[in-house]
Structure 1
Amino acid sequence: MDARKIIHVDMDAFYASVEQRDAPQLRGVPVVVAWRGKRSVVCAASYEARKFGVRSAMPAIHAERLCPHAVFLPPDFPRYRAVSRNVREIFLRHTDLVEPLSLDEAYLDVTVNKTGLPSATQVARTIREQIRHELNLTASAGVAPNKFLAKIASDWKKPDGLFVIKPDKAIDFLTRLTVERLPGVGKVTAQRLIHLGVKTVGDIRSLDLAVLQERFGRYGIRLYELARGIDNNPVEPNRPTQSISAEDTFESDVLLNETEAMIHRLAEKVWQASRKESRIARTIVLKLKTAEFSILTRSHTPGSPVSSCDELTNIALALREKVRMEPKQKFRLVGVGLSNFRDPIAEPEDVLLFQ
């Protein structure tokens, strides 16, 4: 069977770039898209701001300390969504198999393309040119035989770059990558791999599948496959978001009342991710994993969707109070999520998002 041809397109500093495009006086100036406030996090930073260490998901107060002369702008999601629709219209000229991940990135399956271009690389090049000429924005793209590799490739020559991983070069490309480049490998998983003597993706291939499964459960199978460049997940067009979540494992097990700082951080991460969605979440979920690996979840669906990060955090903390365990019970993991996404048809979208 012939290899698939997958493109991952990622708009460069999307929100900040839209702001700079629409306000010429901001071009070449450090721009940070974030609400003001102690609990606010950075939604996007222009590349001029990134030179000072400003990054998405960073607390806005920290960003202001790093780059005090930056221009801070509140996010304008209706405008970003409108531009995102323009970008998607360009994608759809080339293939109907488009899977948006957020407002600023998407997978495209161009194994067969609609424009008769001779290669996936030429399709990606054409898409980037059309985005530049028609929307006055830049995008980076990765071309590869599967989604996992295409996403890594799109980040390889950012900003405004194009990188291709050919099927027969995938293993060589992966071998030297650090394990943190693999999806799902955070700080804790990376440390666990390092304790096994594994620092690179090539090192993972030296471990038997049984060892990976024993140490990492079901994710061990995924690690085994990714280290070999295997990802059979298809591009799924028009797949609506069902849930958004973030979770993390503590370096050492903690008591329930010691989870608050982590819940705050995870709620901020989930809230920022939810702002990229056109649909509205109705249910808040708290997940806990005990030191004995038992999983507990608590959820709440308020009468109206959450309208701020603070509200999301407060509900998550309230859900924690509903956990009835022995006072000495310790936990190894906590997660915060939003689910039960619906189209915003009952009320004007701007009211739901920004009230």
Structure 2
Amino acid sequence: MGRGDGSGRIVSPEGADDAGTGILHVDMDAFYASVAVMDDPSLRGLPLIIGAPDGRSVVSSASYEARRYGVRSAMPVSQAVRLCPQARIVPPDFTRYRAVSAQVMAVFESVTPLVEQLSIDEAFLDVRGVRRLWGSPGEVAVLLRRRVRDEIGISCSVGVAATKHVAKMASTASKPDGMLIVPAARTQEFLDPRPVGAMWGVGPKAVDALARRGIRLIRDVRMSPPESLVRAVGPALAQRMQQLARGEDPRSVETERIEKSIGHEETFEVDIDDLVVLRSELLRLGDRVGARLRATGRQAGAVAIKIRFADFATITRTASLPEPTEVGQRIGETAVSLFDGIDRRDPVRLVGVRAEKLRDSAGGGATLWDDDEGLRRLEGTLDEARARFGAGTITRARHVGRSGGLAGADQPRPFGRE
């Protein structure tokens, strides 16, 4: 979910100049909340919080009415209710969200085969090759917004630009329920006055580091000496930011989305300070991650953990593996090692394990000695048993009785008008 509340939106009128464009970024508006309203029209216009009402969950999404009170995603539901006491809490229904998402993506794919789904509620589209069928990129954007509204019953915002980065920024600026077109010739004019935090991939820590050096706008990024940016955010991000600040983004729309990581996390019903329980849970999550890796034919080159403490402070740790693996026990043991390296021992409310630096299992050559051969055979046997008898019927003895405390699993001619 986006963090904006819809204030300050800018939109383009139909028929606006779309010369040199061809990339669309389409983003559903407050998707989870919109689906809830679609299924229950009596909720329309109310401040909605999508999350479990047990007080220990976090906000999955919120309607724009709730966002205007400061409600944000990943915020504790208890805090969200304090900010907006009149809000209605609606439990999430992820099966329903996936079904509606599939309908939305089917609409996109009926217009162009070049669709890159970024998440359950947003996608890039390359529409340069469908002009004869559907018209110019701006006309396609109007068509898509109308079809999503009429055929599915929710609204979306669309950015139209020459590159993916600018298209995504434009859709964000037009939310909710808007369209913003940035013609290629006016890309720099659009970018320069925007805050650095509006750039894709620039997080709060980078924004703070840049602000300490007087770099607050994209114009500042473009005009700053490279060494100043490097000192603030490091060489890799500095180079990428300056390229994006100049409107340079050669990335194409990728129709086959490759997972960059696979992970699982669990929230405890009560905060846990028992190290034995926490280590056991990390091992169990490692097994789950390993099973997903094997199911998709992938291996992990690194393992990351996420630990959220009782005060909601969250830390992450990552370690590269000596050899890529899909063995859950190896992933779990690495996760435990990372956890043991954390000094803080406050009660924990959430733990997560993630496999990173993924590659195809067939990507490496055979080795003379395979230290994990026995583990690999064992876990393959477990996979077969779960497939035959059900995922919940087969588990390691070390996990039995360990999961009882779990709660489950964004002056010159104006670009548009405000």
Task: Tell me which interval the TM-score lies in, with the shorter structure as reference length.
Answer: 0.7 to 0.9
The reply on whether 1:225 has 2:247 as its aligned counterpart is no
Following superposition, the deviation at residue 81 of structure 1 comes to: 0.4
Following superposition, the deviation at residue 114 of structure 1 comes to: 7.1
Q: Residues 1-355 of structure 1 correspond to what in structure 2 (within 5 A)?
A: 3=20, 5-113=22-130, 116-213=133-230, 215=232, 216-243=234-261, 285-286=304-305, 297=319, 318-323=336-341, 338-339=354-355, 346=387
Residues 197-240 of structure 1, C-alpha deviations (whole Å, 9 max, x = no match): 21111111222334434542111110110110111111111313
Q: Match of 1:99, as an amino acid?
A: E
Task: Name the CA distance, whole Å, in 2 between partners of 1:103 and 1:46.
Answer: 17
- Greater C-alpha Rg: 2
Residues 310-331 of structure 1, C-alpha deviations (whole Å, 9 max, x = no match): xx9xx9984533439xx8xxxx
Task: Name the CA distance, whole Å, in 2 between partners of 1:337 and 1:161.
Answer: 38
Task: Name the CA distance, whole Å, in 2 between partners of 1:244 and 1:193.
Answer: 31
- 2:396 maps to none
- 1:248 maps to none
Q: Secondary structure at the match of 2:129?
A: coil
Following superposition, the deviation at residue 115 of structure 1 comes to: 6.2
Range 15-24 or range 201-210, more displaced: 201-210
Q: In the superposition, relative to structure 1, how do residues 35 and 114 fare at CA in structure 2: closer, same or farther (>3 Å)?
A: farther
Alpha-carbon contact 1:32-1:73 (below 8 Å) kept: yes
Following superposition, the deviation at residue 28 of structure 1 comes to: 1.7
Range 23-32 or range 11-20, more displaced: 23-32
So what's the TM-score if we normalise by structure 1?
A: 0.72
Residues 16-65 of structure 1, C-alpha deviations (whole Å, 9 max, x = no match): 11111111221122211101334411111112222222121211111111
Alpha-carbon contact 1:287-1:297 (below 8 Å) kept: no
Q: Secondary structure at the match of 2:240?
A: helix
Task: Name the CA distance, whole Å, in 1 between partners of 2:154 and 2:162.
Answer: 26
Task: Name the CA distance, whole Å, in 2 between partners of 1:16 and 1:302.
Answer: 38
Task: Name the CA distance, whole Å, in 2 between partners of 1:69 and 1:24.
Answer: 18
Task: Name the CA distance, whole Å, in 2 between partners of 1:22 and 1:29.
Answer: 14
Q: Runs of 5+ in structure 1 lacking a partner? A: 246-278, 289-294, 305-311, 328-334
- 1:250 maps to none
Q: Match of 1:96, as an amino acid?
A: P
Task: Name the CA distance, whole Å, in 2 between partners of 1:348 and 1:15.
Answer: 28
Q: In the superposition, relative to structure 1, how do residues 319 and 115 fare at CA in structure 2: closer, same or farther (>3 Å)?
A: farther
Please provide the CA RMSD for this pair.
3.7
Q: Runs of 5+ in structure 2 lacking a partner? A: 1-18, 264-294, 308-316, 344-350, 361-382, 393-406, 410-418
Q: Match of 2:50, as an amino acid?
A: V
Alpha-carbon contact 1:286-1:298 (below 8 Å) kept: no
Q: In the superposition, relative to structure 1, how do residues 319 and 48 fare at CA in structure 2: closer, same or farther (>3 Å)?
A: farther
Q: In the superposition, relative to structure 1, how do residues 113 and 337 fare at CA in structure 2: closer, same or farther (>3 Å)?
A: farther
Q: Secondary structure at the match of 2:158?
A: strand
- 1:249 maps to none
Residues 92-139 of structure 1, C-alpha deviations (whole Å, 9 max, x = no match): 111111111111101111111276222101101100000111111100
Q: In the superposition, relative to structure 1, how do residues 192 and 337 fare at CA in structure 2: closer, same or farther (>3 Å)?
A: farther
Q: Secondary structure at the match of 1:155?
A: helix
Residues 146-180 of structure 1, C-alpha deviations (whole Å, 9 max, x = no match): 11000010011211100001111010111111111
Task: Name the CA distance, whole Å, in 1 between partners of 2:45 and 2:135.
Answer: 37
Q: Secondary structure at the match of 1:232?
A: coil
Q: Match of 2:93, as an amino acid?
A: D
Task: Name the CA distance, whole Å, in 1 between partners of 2:198 and 2:242.
Answer: 14
Q: In the superposition, relative to structure 1, how do residues 113 and 282 fare at CA in structure 2: closer, same or farther (>3 Å)?
A: same
Following superposition, the deviation at residue 354 of structure 1 comes to: 5.3
Q: Secondary structure at the match of 1:297?
A: strand
So what's the TM-score if we normalise by structure 2?
A: 0.62
Task: Name the CA distance, whole Å, in 2 between partners of 1:205 and 1:91.
Answer: 34
Task: Name the CA distance, whole Å, in 2 between partners of 1:191 and 1:297.
Answer: 26
Following superposition, the deviation at residue 181 of structure 1 comes to: 0.9
Following superposition, the deviation at residue 242 of structure 1 comes to: 2.5
Count of residue pairs the alignment pairs up = 293
Task: Name the CA distance, whole Å, in 2 between partners of 1:31 and 1:287.
Answer: 28
Range 206-215 or range 70-79, more displaced: 206-215
